[in-house]
Every structure is written in structure tokens, then in C-alpha cells.
Structure 1
Amino acid sequence: MEKIRLADIAESLGLSVAAVSYVLNGKEGKVSARTRARVLEMVKKSGYLPERAEVLLGRNPSKMIGLIVHDHPEYEGAPLENLYYARFISFLQKEVVKAGCDLLIKTAKGWKEAAEFASMWNMQGLIVAGFCDGDYRSLQDMLHIPMTAMDVSSPAPGISSVCADDFKGGVLAGEYLKAMGHSHVLVLTTNLECNDKNRIDGLRSTGIDTEILMIPPTHNARNELLRNYDFSRTRAVFCVSDRQALELSSLLYQRNLRVPQDVSILGFDGIDAGAYACPPLTTVAQDLEQKAHLAVAALDENPSRKVSDVFLCARKSVAYA
């Protein structure tokens, strides 16, 4: 039998998804008694998620905090396998437990899917990561619970957000490369928006000459581009993520180009894999423990923008020019 969705119930009753979710989460003051009765009758007839009924009807106060990660095309269907998110979730789980709650995780391809997930559970709060700034505004308008938007460069008024100090991270990268004698750096990025833009702006603010190489979001397309790129005039590369930096290091090895003797590489994020690469990756690391703490704390506070710290990890992938 085809799965019944929240949107199906709303459509059959001529109601909004938000109105149905209010009823299912026990928000008595949001809808009329007649609307509540219609929704509950339809839920009973449709058999909509019967195993979750006690939670959905708001009879069992939840001790859950949700995390939704955007299933962006860059992650090719496996966003939770991304090492940055894996490490962040590890710290987030600990912070949620400290708050006396359990963590419920879901990936979503769009903000509407995220909103439907939020409406299905009587959660205390929702943490959302990987979406564009405008999506957070749309999602916030659909929710009736506190939300923390992760990695938002310019949050809209009324939205709680947490992001790393991306501009400072770019400055740290630029200052380090200049100290190592580099005056020109090739920048690898998939876009010139939000966090990536702030990291690149910070790099440029140090006065170092930059050249942008836009790379495709998918792995195979990136590999094809970088296999054929002429690195003969490139002595230093700044990658806006460690994942890109490690991929580049592997491709250069396949092309018999040595890191850092031929090309220096500097990444961003500080994932554990970078420390065990050969050579170990120099990177701007995020304080993900602090970031997770701020994300949970923001759910209990008035909407504000919180910034987590970054720091330089100088290893072996950057050599003197």
C-alpha cells in the first residue's frame, strides 16, 4: 500500500500542511475544534503513521531534538558519510544528551521535505544544516518549534544561526601562505556564495593574489577537470574544504606531482582524515565541539547569530615557495 503523507491528509481536507501539523502535535490554540476533529478523523481512517500516533497526537511529550542535513548534489546521495558532518554529529549527540534529549537525524533534498519531517514529531527543537539562506527563512515560517540554522552567512531577522568564523579562517590561510613565501594562490571552490565566499574574501583581504578555479559539485566531474588542469604555474592551492583538498592531493599524486614540493595545499574544516593523509594536511580547523554546543544552546535563547572559532593547523602539505 502506498505510504500516506502529511501533505496527502492536508490536501484531502483542503487544509495547509501547517494546520494539520498543529493538530498532530497537540497545538490546541492554533486551529478550531472542528478542524481538529476533521484531521483526527482522517488520520484514523488513513492509518497515517499509526506506530507514531502517541507522539503525533502530542500525548507523549517528546525529549527529542532533530537534525536535518541537506542532501545536496555535492554529497551524491550520502551526506552523512561526509567526514565533516560525521564529526559534527558526534559532538552534537553529546550536547543533546547533556540537554536531557535524544537526537533524531534525517537528510532532506529540500526545505519542504524538512518541514514535513519537523511536523511529524513533537520535538523540542530542530537544527538544520546545509541549506541556502533563503531556505531557512521559508522553513522557519512553517515551524512551530525553535530552530537553529547552521552555517548561515547572512541570517534573516528572527532566525537563530550558528556559523564558523569563515572570514577569519580565510585570513589565517592567507597570512600563513604569505609567511611561507607564496604571493599567488589558486582557489578551488564549487561556488562563490555564503561560507565559501566569506573564506575567499578573508584570504583576499591579506593581499595575496588569488585565481579562482570553479570545480563541479560531483566527484567524477571534478576528477575529470583536475586531471586535465595545467598546474605547471601553480605553487599553492587553497581549497574551501578538506574534502576537496584531499581529493586534489590524491589526483596530483596520480599525475606524479609532489605535495608539497611541487604544489602546496591548504584546506578548511579540520576533519580527522587530514591528519592521517600523506603528507598530513595543513588546514584551517573549525571548533566543532563549540559549534555543536552553540547549536543546542541557541534553541533555548532569543534568535541571534553565534560564531564558532577557527584555528590554523600547520602540518606538512604547505612548503616554502
Structure 2
Amino acid sequence: MEDPLPRLLAEHAATGRLPGRATLEECRAAGERAAEQGVPLRALIDEALRALDGTAALRRAVAALMEGYEGAQQAAWRGEELARREFVDDLLQGRAERLAERAERFGLRLAEAYMVAVARGMSDGDPDRIERDLIARFGSHNVLVAVRDGLLVCVVPATLPAAVGEFTHHVRARFADGWRLGVGRPQRGPGGVVSSFREAAGALELADKLGIRAQVVRAADLLVFPVLLRDRAAIEDLVTSVLSPLLRARGGHEPLLETLEAIFAAHGNQAAAARRLGISTRTVTYRLERIRRLTGFSPDEPTQRFTLETAVLGARLLEWPSGCG
């Protein structure tokens, strides 16, 4: 590294005078150049120590060197962070301009499979801290983190499921009560990342509509629901035909729907359903009989049970009765 630094420091050491402002500015500039050229900080300090012999001069010069060096490192880190966030934003929006080329800069091979996890409820969380912790463990080439549409988004290789588990751990530890996390399926290519992101976000929406209690929901476990919604007219017809009689029930249809959901979740066990609802088994039995009389369908009969369960799921997805018709 061709630099006037050794000469300047040697002159001040020989005269005993402290470095002035101009010399310190040159020291800072030398520190910046060293950082940009990848010179180790230890080597830079060793060079300064060889050139200096005065204690006070040493302290001021080394402080200026390190200030310049650290300033350049921080500027480079901020630039890298901004580039990462812009890349992730473009990736999740499916903007394909130079994505593969830009991905290589961050160590991603977009021809491989990636999966996306999204977390909601980060009002009390620390996204930057979570990103730093994940990168410290798995490396910046394996983890991309960004905030999008109010969600904290984490993109990881499909071959590294432990990263999703670690992401979940940090969300659980740092997010506010009521947080929820959705996980998309592994998908290949830039378009696959977009699909996995949409699946993960969609899993959160489905969990809300269906009243799923789990804090972590996986799109792979909810594949039947998008299938149901592909033919909206058919599912609306099923819901209306099967469940409309419940609207005439005294006390409203909602307690009866909740009872059916509890029965399905408990695999037909009325005692377990009663505990889930916080009511007596006798009340569950009474409600099921009312459902049978009103609709003509019974969850005890296999074929009718499937029709009822599909109708109840469709009702939640369509926000029946207000969302139908």
C-alpha cells in the first residue's frame, strides 16, 4: 500500500510534536483506503506502531486511523444492507430485471429451491436484530430478511429447514403476543420464491378465516382450501344448500357451526368437543341433533360427515352468510 502515512508519523515522532489536523485527516483517509483495499486492521496498526515512537502521538494517530477504517466499513455495510433489501423487495414482487445476476452477489442460486416464511405481529419485535442473528448462524448467503406488507419475511434454501426453525424461535422470543408465522412450500427459481411468499402469506389469511389456533401454519397443510375456492360458484352452492337451514335456529347459526368444527377437530368425540367448547357433553349432543333435524345431515354418517365438514370449511372461507350470494 503506497501511502505517506509512515513518513508523516515518523516526522512527528522525530520532532515530538503531536499530529495536527491535516495529518489526522490524512490518517483517516489512509484508514478508509485500507478498508476499501481489504487491508486487515491489525496490519494497519502494526504499520503505524513501527513509524511512531511517541505515546501521545500514537494515541491520536491510531484513533484517527481506526475512525477512518471503521467509517469506511460502516458505509460499506450500509450500502450492502440497502442493496440486500432492494433485492429482496424486487424478488418478492417478481421483478425479474437482472435478478439472477444480482442474486449471485448475495450467494443465492435461484435455480435451486427456496422456501419463504413470513411473521406477523412485529410491533414489539426487532427485525434488524433477528436478521443479524440469523446471518451470524447461517451466513448471509443462506438467509435473506426483509419487511414487506407489514410482515417480516425470511427467504432460505429448501435444504436448510433449520433456518426456518431458528427464525420461528426469534419471532416467538421477540414479537408481541398474538404473533403468527406462515411457511410456504419449497419452490424453484425466482418465480418460486414469489409463489412460496404468497403461499406463506395466504396461510396466515386462511388460518384467520378458519379459526386455526396454531401459531405456526404451513401452506402444505392447507392445500385443500385453495382447491375448494377454485370453483367459488360450486362451493357457494354447497354452503348455501347444506347450511342455510341453520339460519333459522334459535340463538343463531354460529353456536351450531362452532359445535360442528369442534366435533370435526375431535374426530367425532363428543366429550373432547365439549371440553374444547367449554360446555357440557349433553349440550353438544343436543346441538348435533338440532343440526341433523334442520339440515338433514349427521356427522355420524361418513358420507354426510364429509359433506358437512366441507360445507363448514367453505362457510369459513367465504365468511358465510355475509360473504355469499
When Rg is computed on C-alpha atoms for both structures, the one with the higher figure is: 2
Calculate the TM-score normalised by the size of structure 2.
0.23
Structure number with higher relative contact order (C-alpha < 8 Å, ≥ 6 residues apart): 1
Calculate the TM-score normalised by the size of structure 1.
0.23
Larger relative strand fraction:
1
